[in-house]
């Protein structure tokens, strides 16, 4: 049985720290208020931890990909403008 109030349990400390970095998902109330009502309590916590780790990484990768796509378009436009300027100067 995992105890939220026990600060010496490494898994609970890591889970609490990661959820606090994400803006506090209030997992304690959701997962520990009525422990008898839930099935697969450990599995739920593992899925929550994986979600809390993987989703920010995926979102950052998507944002980086979007920025790189925009930069390629900007470079193409700059190349065309440079060529147009060179043609006007000659």
Q: What does the pLDDT profile of the chain (90 residues) look like in tens digits?
A: 555 566 667 777 777 777 777 776 666 666 666 666 666 777 877 887 888 889 889 989 999 988 888 888 898 899 999 999 988 877
Residue 5 lies in a domain: no
Regarding pTM above 0.75, the answer is: no
> 2 lies in a domain?
no
Q: Would 3 be classed as within a structural domain?
A: no
- Per the structure, the complete domain to which residue 16 belongs is given by 10-89
> In this structure, is residue 53 part of a structural domain?
yes
Split into its structural domains, the chain has a count of 1
Residue-by-residue DSSP string for 27-82:
HHHHHHSSGGG-SSHHHHHHHHHHHHHHHHHHHHHHHHHHHHHHHHHHHHHHHHHH
């Amino acid at each position: 049985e995992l105890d939220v109030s026990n600060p010496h349990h490494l898994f609970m400390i890591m889970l609490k720290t990661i959820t606090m970095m994400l803006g506090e998902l209030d997992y304690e109330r959701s997962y520990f208020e009525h422990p008898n009502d839930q099935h697969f309590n450990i599995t739920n916590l593992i899925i929550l931890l994986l979600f809390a780790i993987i989703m920010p990484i995926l979102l950052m990768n998507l944002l980086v990909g979007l920025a790189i796509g925009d930069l390629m378009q900007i470079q193409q436009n700059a190349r065309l403008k440079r060529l147009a300027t060179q043609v006007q100067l000659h």
